[in-house]
Amino acid sequence: MDFITENHTVSREIDNKWGIMTSLCLLGEIALRKGDLKQAYAYFNEVSVMARAYADRYALMGALYGLGTVARWEGEYDQAIQYHSEELELGRLINHAESVAEAHYRLGAVARLQGDTPRARFHFRESMLAISPLLVTQLCEDVAAWCAAHQQPRQALTLFGGANALRTTIQVLTLPLAQQEYNQTITAVRTQLDVAAAIEAWDAGQTMTLEEARAYVGDIVETME
Protein backbone atom coordinates (compact mmCIF):
# COMPACT_ATOMS: atom_id res chain seq x y z
CA MET A 1 0.00 0.00 0.00
CA ASP A 2 2.77 2.47 0.95
CA PHE A 3 4.64 1.68 -2.27
CA ILE A 4 1.51 2.23 -4.38
CA THR A 5 0.73 5.50 -2.61
CA GLU A 6 4.30 6.68 -3.08
CA ASN A 7 4.21 5.69 -6.75
CA HIS A 8 0.98 7.62 -7.13
CA THR A 9 2.47 10.72 -5.50
CA VAL A 10 5.62 10.61 -7.65
CA SER A 11 3.59 10.01 -10.83
CA ARG A 12 1.56 13.15 -10.10
CA GLU A 13 4.69 15.16 -9.41
CA ILE A 14 6.22 14.25 -12.78
CA ASP A 15 2.84 14.27 -14.57
CA ASN A 16 3.15 10.61 -15.61
CA LYS A 17 -0.42 9.97 -16.81
CA TRP A 18 0.06 6.20 -17.17
CA GLY A 19 1.60 5.96 -13.69
CA ILE A 20 -1.23 7.99 -12.18
CA MET A 21 -3.93 5.80 -13.75
CA THR A 22 -2.15 2.56 -12.86
CA SER A 23 -1.69 3.53 -9.22
CA LEU A 24 -5.28 4.77 -8.99
CA CYS A 25 -6.56 1.41 -10.29
CA LEU A 26 -4.45 -0.41 -7.69
CA LEU A 27 -5.69 1.89 -4.93
CA GLY A 28 -9.25 1.31 -6.12
CA GLU A 29 -8.73 -2.45 -5.95
CA ILE A 30 -7.38 -2.14 -2.40
CA ALA A 31 -10.40 -0.05 -1.42
CA LEU A 32 -12.70 -2.73 -2.85
CA ARG A 33 -10.93 -5.40 -0.83
CA LYS A 34 -11.45 -3.27 2.29
CA GLY A 35 -15.14 -2.87 1.46
CA ASP A 36 -14.77 0.91 1.07
CA LEU A 37 -17.08 1.48 -1.89
CA LYS A 38 -17.04 5.28 -1.64
CA GLN A 39 -13.26 5.46 -1.85
CA ALA A 40 -13.11 2.79 -4.57
CA TYR A 41 -15.59 4.77 -6.66
CA ALA A 42 -13.50 7.94 -6.28
CA TYR A 43 -10.34 6.20 -7.49
CA PHE A 44 -11.93 4.39 -10.42
CA ASN A 45 -13.95 7.41 -11.48
CA GLU A 46 -10.79 9.54 -11.69
CA VAL A 47 -9.20 6.84 -13.86
CA SER A 48 -12.28 6.83 -16.09
CA VAL A 49 -12.10 10.59 -16.63
CA MET A 50 -8.38 10.50 -17.41
CA ALA A 51 -8.59 7.41 -19.63
CA ARG A 52 -11.34 8.97 -21.74
CA ALA A 53 -9.37 12.19 -22.06
CA TYR A 54 -6.26 10.33 -23.22
CA ALA A 55 -8.09 7.63 -25.19
CA ASP A 56 -6.47 4.85 -23.13
CA ARG A 57 -8.71 1.83 -23.67
CA TYR A 58 -6.81 -0.44 -21.29
CA ALA A 59 -7.01 1.99 -18.39
CA LEU A 60 -10.67 2.65 -19.18
CA MET A 61 -11.45 -1.07 -19.02
CA GLY A 62 -9.88 -1.19 -15.56
CA ALA A 63 -11.94 1.79 -14.46
CA LEU A 64 -15.16 0.32 -15.84
CA TYR A 65 -14.51 -2.96 -14.03
CA GLY A 66 -14.12 -1.05 -10.77
CA LEU A 67 -17.11 1.24 -11.28
CA GLY A 68 -19.30 -1.69 -12.27
CA THR A 69 -18.21 -3.66 -9.22
CA VAL A 70 -19.02 -0.74 -6.94
CA ALA A 71 -22.44 -0.35 -8.58
CA ARG A 72 -23.13 -4.08 -8.23
CA TRP A 73 -22.42 -4.11 -4.50
CA GLU A 74 -24.46 -0.95 -4.00
CA GLY A 75 -27.41 -2.69 -5.67
CA GLU A 76 -27.36 -0.30 -8.63
CA TYR A 77 -27.70 -3.11 -11.15
CA ASP A 78 -28.69 -1.06 -14.20
CA GLN A 79 -25.64 1.15 -13.66
CA ALA A 80 -23.44 -1.93 -13.25
CA ILE A 81 -24.75 -3.34 -16.53
CA GLN A 82 -23.93 -0.07 -18.28
CA TYR A 83 -20.34 -0.08 -17.02
CA HIS A 84 -19.70 -3.75 -17.76
CA SER A 85 -21.34 -3.55 -21.17
CA GLU A 86 -18.94 -0.79 -22.15
CA GLU A 87 -16.10 -2.85 -20.67
CA LEU A 88 -17.20 -5.76 -22.89
CA GLU A 89 -17.24 -3.61 -26.02
CA LEU A 90 -13.75 -2.29 -25.29
CA GLY A 91 -12.48 -5.83 -24.83
CA ARG A 92 -13.89 -6.72 -28.22
CA LEU A 93 -12.38 -3.63 -29.83
CA ILE A 94 -8.88 -4.52 -28.71
CA ASN A 95 -9.51 -8.22 -29.43
CA HIS A 96 -8.57 -9.32 -25.90
CA ALA A 97 -10.32 -12.63 -25.18
CA GLU A 98 -9.64 -12.65 -21.43
CA SER A 99 -11.10 -9.15 -20.97
CA VAL A 100 -14.18 -10.14 -22.98
CA ALA A 101 -14.62 -13.26 -20.83
CA GLU A 102 -14.26 -11.27 -17.60
CA ALA A 103 -16.85 -8.70 -18.70
CA HIS A 104 -19.26 -11.48 -19.64
CA TYR A 105 -18.78 -13.06 -16.22
CA ARG A 106 -19.51 -9.77 -14.46
CA LEU A 107 -22.64 -9.19 -16.55
CA GLY A 108 -23.74 -12.72 -15.69
CA ALA A 109 -23.17 -12.07 -12.00
CA VAL A 110 -25.41 -9.00 -12.14
CA ALA A 111 -28.08 -10.91 -14.09
CA ARG A 112 -27.98 -13.65 -11.43
CA LEU A 113 -28.60 -11.08 -8.70
CA GLN A 114 -31.50 -9.68 -10.73
CA GLY A 115 -33.03 -13.14 -11.03
CA ASP A 116 -32.64 -13.15 -14.81
CA THR A 117 -31.52 -16.75 -15.40
CA PRO A 118 -31.54 -16.72 -19.25
CA ARG A 119 -29.29 -13.66 -19.34
CA ALA A 120 -27.06 -15.05 -16.58
CA ARG A 121 -26.72 -18.34 -18.46
CA PHE A 122 -25.80 -16.54 -21.69
CA HIS A 123 -23.08 -14.42 -20.09
CA PHE A 124 -21.70 -17.25 -17.95
CA ARG A 125 -21.48 -19.47 -21.03
CA GLU A 126 -19.68 -16.75 -22.97
CA SER A 127 -17.27 -16.18 -20.08
CA MET A 128 -16.00 -19.73 -20.43
CA LEU A 129 -14.57 -19.17 -23.91
CA ALA A 130 -11.37 -17.86 -22.31
CA ILE A 131 -11.05 -18.18 -18.58
CA SER A 132 -8.44 -17.72 -15.84
CA PRO A 133 -8.17 -19.64 -12.55
CA LEU A 134 -9.65 -16.67 -10.67
CA LEU A 135 -12.52 -16.41 -13.13
CA VAL A 136 -13.27 -20.15 -12.77
CA THR A 137 -13.32 -19.61 -9.01
CA GLN A 138 -15.68 -16.65 -9.19
CA LEU A 139 -17.91 -18.44 -11.68
CA CYS A 140 -18.14 -21.45 -9.36
CA GLU A 141 -19.23 -19.16 -6.52
CA ASP A 142 -21.87 -17.35 -8.56
CA VAL A 143 -23.30 -20.52 -10.07
CA ALA A 144 -23.26 -22.10 -6.59
CA ALA A 145 -25.39 -19.21 -5.34
CA TRP A 146 -27.76 -19.76 -8.28
CA CYS A 147 -27.97 -23.49 -7.44
CA ALA A 148 -28.74 -22.66 -3.82
CA ALA A 149 -31.60 -20.40 -4.91
CA HIS A 150 -32.97 -23.14 -7.19
CA GLN A 151 -33.11 -26.05 -4.76
CA GLN A 152 -29.86 -27.70 -5.83
CA PRO A 153 -27.97 -27.84 -2.51
CA ARG A 154 -25.65 -30.71 -3.44
CA GLN A 155 -24.40 -28.95 -6.59
CA ALA A 156 -24.11 -25.68 -4.67
CA LEU A 157 -21.90 -27.22 -1.97
CA THR A 158 -19.72 -28.99 -4.52
CA LEU A 159 -19.18 -25.70 -6.37
CA PHE A 160 -18.47 -23.83 -3.14
CA GLY A 161 -16.01 -26.55 -2.14
CA GLY A 162 -14.29 -26.30 -5.51
CA ALA A 163 -14.12 -22.51 -5.30
CA ASN A 164 -12.68 -22.71 -1.79
CA ALA A 165 -9.95 -25.10 -2.94
CA LEU A 166 -9.12 -22.95 -5.95
CA ARG A 167 -8.87 -19.80 -3.84
CA THR A 168 -6.43 -21.61 -1.56
CA THR A 169 -4.37 -22.65 -4.57
CA ILE A 170 -4.23 -19.22 -6.21
CA GLN A 171 -4.04 -17.45 -2.81
CA VAL A 172 -6.81 -14.95 -3.46
CA LEU A 173 -9.34 -14.26 -0.70
CA THR A 174 -13.04 -13.62 -1.23
CA LEU A 175 -13.92 -9.93 -1.25
CA PRO A 176 -15.31 -8.91 2.15
CA LEU A 177 -18.36 -7.59 0.32
CA ALA A 178 -19.05 -11.10 -1.02
CA GLN A 179 -18.14 -12.99 2.15
CA GLN A 180 -21.46 -12.37 3.89
CA GLU A 181 -23.52 -13.79 1.01
CA TYR A 182 -21.02 -16.64 0.69
CA ASN A 183 -21.28 -17.61 4.37
CA GLN A 184 -25.06 -17.28 4.54
CA THR A 185 -25.57 -19.35 1.40
CA ILE A 186 -23.25 -22.16 2.52
CA THR A 187 -24.98 -22.30 5.91
CA ALA A 188 -28.39 -22.45 4.23
CA VAL A 189 -27.54 -25.24 1.79
CA ARG A 190 -25.88 -27.34 4.50
CA THR A 191 -29.19 -27.44 6.37
CA GLN A 192 -30.90 -28.91 3.29
CA LEU A 193 -28.69 -32.03 3.33
CA ASP A 194 -27.87 -34.55 6.02
CA VAL A 195 -24.40 -34.27 7.49
CA ALA A 196 -22.88 -37.09 5.46
CA ALA A 197 -24.29 -35.78 2.16
CA ALA A 198 -23.11 -32.24 2.90
CA ILE A 199 -19.58 -33.45 3.68
CA GLU A 200 -19.53 -35.63 0.57
CA ALA A 201 -20.66 -32.75 -1.67
CA TRP A 202 -18.12 -30.31 -0.19
CA ASP A 203 -15.27 -32.81 -0.40
CA ALA A 204 -16.12 -33.58 -4.04
CA GLY A 205 -15.47 -29.94 -4.85
CA GLN A 206 -12.34 -29.76 -2.70
CA THR A 207 -10.63 -32.49 -4.72
CA MET A 208 -11.39 -31.00 -8.14
CA THR A 209 -8.61 -29.78 -10.39
CA LEU A 210 -9.02 -26.49 -12.21
CA GLU A 211 -10.13 -28.26 -15.39
CA GLU A 212 -12.55 -30.48 -13.48
CA ALA A 213 -14.08 -27.47 -11.76
CA ARG A 214 -14.37 -25.67 -15.09
CA ALA A 215 -16.09 -28.68 -16.67
CA TYR A 216 -18.43 -29.16 -13.69
CA VAL A 217 -19.56 -25.55 -13.55
CA GLY A 218 -19.89 -25.50 -17.34
CA ASP A 219 -22.25 -28.48 -17.25
CA ILE A 220 -24.45 -26.74 -14.69
CA VAL A 221 -24.47 -23.47 -16.66
CA GLU A 222 -25.82 -25.39 -19.66
CA THR A 223 -28.77 -26.63 -17.60
CA MET A 224 -29.67 -23.30 -15.97
CA GLU A 225 -33.29 -22.40 -16.71
Domain ranges of the chain: 1-95, 133-225
Return all residues near 3 (Cβ < 8 A) that are at least 6 apart. none
How far apart are the C-alpha atoms of 196 and 133, rounded to whole Å? 29
pTM above 0.75, yes or no: yes
Print pLDDT tens along the chain (225 aa): 566 676 667 667 687 788 888 999 999 999 998 999 999 999 999 999 999 999 999 999 999 999 999 999 999 999 999 999 999 999 999 999 999 999 999 999 999 999 999 999 999 999 998 779 999 999 999 999 999 999 999 999 999 999 999 999 999 888 888 888 889 999 999 999 999 999 999 999 999 999 999 999 999 999 999
Contact call for residues 161 and 205 (beta carbons, < 8 A):
yes
Select 1-95's CATH number: 1.25.40.10, 3.40.630.10, 2.30.30.830, 3.30.1340.30. Answer: 1.25.40.10
Distance of alpha carbon 39 from alpha carbon 29, whole angstroms: 10
